[in-house]
Structure 1
Amino acid sequence: MACVDIGSTFTKAALVSPATGELLATAQAPTTLDDVVRGVLDATAGFPDGVPVLACSSAGGGLRLAVVGYEQLISAEAGHRAALSAGARVVHVAAGRLDPPGLAALADARPDVLLLVGGTDGGDTAVLRHNAAALAGWDRSVPVVLAGNAHVQDEVAATLRAEGPPVTVCANVLPDIGELAPESARAGIRAVFLEHVIGGDKLSTDPRLRQWVRAVTPDAVLDGVVVLAGLRTAAEVPGVVVLDVGGATTDVYCVPDLDAEQTALRREAVGVPAHRRTVEGDLGVHHAVADLRAAAHAEGLPPLADDALALGEAAATVALRRHLRAEAAYGAGGASARGVGLVVLSGGVFRHADAAARDAVVTRLAGDRGGAAGVLGGTPVVVDADYVLAAAGLLAGDHPEAARALAATLLLPDSDQVT
């Protein structure tokens, strides 16, 4: 089985035995953005003829998603968290009744998909109805995932469909106060991604792409992180955090030790998802360097050298700080600072750096007073040198044993451990 990650800069391929999970070979090639299928064929050229391909993609910036909710602190935030868990790059969050300036701001964000939420089941319906009417004639090319108040979903879906935008109806992301239920919306977002982004002509007109791609890359990686965390349930501190520095974005994944976490969390209005992810679209080491420098400056970091590892270190530092600030909403002190017994570094900047340079980066991250020390201080760190997390995530559904065996390579004594 060829497990392929079509990234914004490089397309990475892993040849894996679906029976045993053995990693047989790895390869990569530049992503060919005019037609990403050529890059996949280049990356897998050395693999056996006819090998099946499973792929994920973040090419072209991945999945751009906007959230429209009832109000900022509850339903819009619930939609935001559901979107992040689905591997989307959230480019806009709106709350309340959409007006002409709100619709203009939404258009400026250029989303691929819109997630429309609002109201608990049986709660307020007026705002959801208003926003559906406002969006119905807004942009027929942008599909809508509807995951709001179940009592008016049929009516709202009919309002939208009357004007033409495709609508996918899912269960409410916030069925009751304090109850976050993102899985249905996550599945709906994935289906829309496959149908309208991969199935369209944005990345390729070659029908093979539709057959290969199963998920947006961060969604596949999150599935792989869940597999890895599942292997560590017997560890003294089983939680896992992954820092994935890419050319266009830097992603942070968190599967904490829920038992340790619950001792510190207060009950929140929007609930606490077990598997969390944040994506930072201005923290890329190739396609977003100017934005990365600005973000690093805003965080008080020293001026950045042009060295790729220095840029990667800054991206990881800023992304982890932001992630911890977002996590603080889950409880005092930030949930992902608790119950984490393994940190995984991923991305080309870490994969290609020499061991001494990587050690120095980890040491500085572990001493970061801006927040990173809360996760990396004294925690074992490994490098996903072969990009096995995305491959494990792709295999997890149909080949769970192979996925576990592949993820377990990050736990072996001879894995690429930094500290």
Structure 2
Amino acid sequence: MIEVDVLVAEIGSTTTLVNAFKGLGTPCPEFVGQGLAPTTVLQGDVTVGLEGAVKDLEKRLGKAVKWKRMMATSSAAGGLKMTVHGLVYDMTAKAAKEAALGAGAVLHMMTAGFLSQSDLEKIRKIKPNIILLAGGVDYGEKKTVIENARKIAEHCPDIPVIYAGNVAAREEVAEIFSGKNRVFFVENVYPRIDELNVEPARRVIQQVFEEHIVVAPGMEKIRTMVDGPIVPTPGAVMMAALLLKEDIGDLIVVDVGGATTDVHSVTEGSEEINRILIAPEPAAKRTVEGDLGVYVNRYNVVEVLGFEEARKKFGDNLSHALEVQPPVPKNQDEVWLAEFLTEIAAVTAVNRHAGGIKHLYGPTGRYTVAEGKDLTGVKWIIGTGGALTRLPGGRRILEKIRSKTTGKKLLPGEDARVLIDRDYIMASTGVLSKEYPDDAIKLLKKSLRINDVRTD
């Protein structure tokens, strides 16, 4: 029997995996191994898949595994479903969106201004885990956020609400939700013009998720096995990215999956670009591309290039290859197609995540502005997730992200270094960092093979 300190489960929509760690609290924490099995959320009991992943781990190790604690990340049962509602799209609504995505949410709806009857009907159909309500800078306009609170309390009772709006409206909002919705008050996500403050909301979103994920369909029994924190999987990746940035510098993390592609960036950007930004950007930003997945959305990925262009690059058998491609490639032809799709998805997702330079014309002539996330200061490009960590061409694919010229897109430069999460433990180290931050960073750097790489 092997005794481990912590077993971290990653409960996905289709696959559940477990990562075992021992030696926590010592100078040399160790990643012991990984097991996986199909997720059983649709069968109404996620612990069946979790037990299957543990059995797979034991089979790979050749011994039974005993653990002291189990933690978890989850994107099962639809993940962390949220709707966000602000006052002005480019200000409070956008700030609320950044907070939700950075916490690992699946954003199903975003509105600005007064909620309409059709908006409320959509919220009821979505049945979000959490509603994020924002609106107004501190001590500014508060009529809209108060009216939206009344409508949510009347039409969507019992859904937890996080209020991250005008501090001057808190008392009225608290009274409105009293006895109807559980409400959590955090600092305003947009307290002053051109100032984002999304971290307090992110932290509370994850706390509320942990409380409510156990009542999602198929997740009721999760606490019978998991006695530690439960974090949204994308949120756990962001936690790991934030921890790593403090150690090695500005970075982006690319996670290409079967259905979506996530990009996380942790960088303040360059002073030169910050001076000409037309709207503030968060230091830690996540975007999710719902159309870029190498299995479920493989046809959408091909359409990014256009089918004929893709066929020229891949070969005349592209149609047949797409038709028979399995979720996990098993032979060389399937690996080639998976790498082809992964490259398109990764490069496209990072280009969408990155901001750009614009030239505008006014009374005094042409002037230059920047819009969106500046990645030019990024030192590290990190690949995680099944595709980039398991395909042999992961490093080559991520090298395509680097920009060789100072063009209009604010992409990482040629000197950015590529790292691969070889042990596929980034999300696990994120949730582990809640209680074992020193061990988490050591384990993650081992997985990235960075201990012998200069970081200055």
Normalising by the residue count of structure 2, what TM-score does the alignment of the two structures yield?
0.79
Change (3 A) 1:39 1:282: same
- Alignment counterpart, residue 397 of structure 2, candidates 355, 361, 365: 361
Question: How far apart, in 2, do the equivalents of 1:327 and 1:134 lie?
Answer: 40
AA partner of residue 53 (structure 2):
A
Q: Indicate conservation of the 8 Å contact 1:320/1:371, yes or no.
A: no
Question: How far apart, in 2, do the equivalents of 1:249 and 1:14 lie?
Answer: 22
> Displacement, 1:288?
3.8
Say which is worse superposed, 115-124 or 188-197, in terms of deviation: 188-197
Residue aligned with 1:67, SS: strand
Question: How far apart, in 2, do the equivalents of 1:63 and 1:326 lie?
Answer: 30
Question: How far apart, in 1, do the equivalents of 2:148 and 2:429 lie?
Answer: 39
> Displacement, 1:6?
1.5
Aligned pairs, number:
403
Aligned to 1:254: 265
Change (3 A) 1:365 1:275: closer
Aligned to 2:332: none
AA partner of residue 30 (structure 2):
E
- Alignment counterpart, residue 215 of structure 1, candidates 231, 235, 238: 231
Aligned to 1:235: none
Change (3 A) 1:364 1:122: closer
Change (3 A) 1:60 1:21: same
Q: What's the CA shift string for 1:100-149, capped at 9, x where partnerless? A: 23334444555332110001111111001111112122222532211111
Task: Calculate percent identity across the aligned residue pairs.
Answer: 30
Question: How far apart, in 2, do the equivalents of 1:58 and 1:23 lie?
Answer: 23
Question: How far apart, in 1, do the equivalents of 2:433 and 2:178 lie?
Answer: 35
Q: Is 1:181 aligned to 2:217, yes or no?
A: no
Q: Which structure has the bigger radius of gyration?
A: 2
Question: How far apart, in 1, do the equivalents of 2:279 and 2:214 lie?
Answer: 31
Q: Indicate conservation of the 8 Å contact 1:198/1:209, yes or no.
A: no
Change (3 A) 1:352 1:407: closer
Change (3 A) 1:270 1:298: farther
Aligned to 1:157: 174
Q: What's the CA shift string for 1:287-344, capped at 9, x where partnerless? A: 44455455x258997368533333322221222122114999xx72754421111111
Q: How does 1:138-149 map to 2 (within 5 A)?
A: 138-149=155-166
Say which is worse superposed, 179-188 or 306-315, in terms of deviation: 306-315
Q: Which has the higher contact order (CA 8 A, sep 6+)?
A: 1
Aligned to 1:397: 434
Q: How does 1:29-178 map to 2 (within 5 A)?
A: 29-33=37-41, 34=43, 35-45=45-55, 46=58, 48-107=65-124, 109-162=126-179, 164-178=180-194
Q: Indicate conservation of the 8 Å contact 1:317/1:372, yes or no.
A: no
AA partner of residue 178 (structure 1):
D
Q: Indicate conservation of the 8 Å contact 1:180/1:270, yes or no.
A: no
Structure 1: 5+ residue stretches without partners: 233-237
Residue aligned with 2:246, SS: helix
Residue aligned with 1:93, SS: strand
Normalising by the residue count of structure 1, what TM-score does the alignment of the two structures yield?
0.85
Change (3 A) 1:227 1:301: farther
Change (3 A) 1:73 1:124: same
Change (3 A) 1:167 1:267: farther
Question: How far apart, in 1, do the equivalents of 2:178 and 2:293 lie?
Answer: 37
Q: Is 1:342 aligned to 2:356, yes or no?
A: no
> Displacement, 1:266?
3.0
Change (3 A) 1:144 1:76: same
AA partner of residue 349 (structure 1):
A
Q: Indicate conservation of the 8 Å contact 1:133/1:159, yes or no.
A: yes
Aligned CA RMSD, in angstroms, stands at 3.2
Residue aligned with 2:107, SS: strand
Question: How far apart, in 2, do the equivalents of 1:133 and 1:327 lie?
Answer: 41
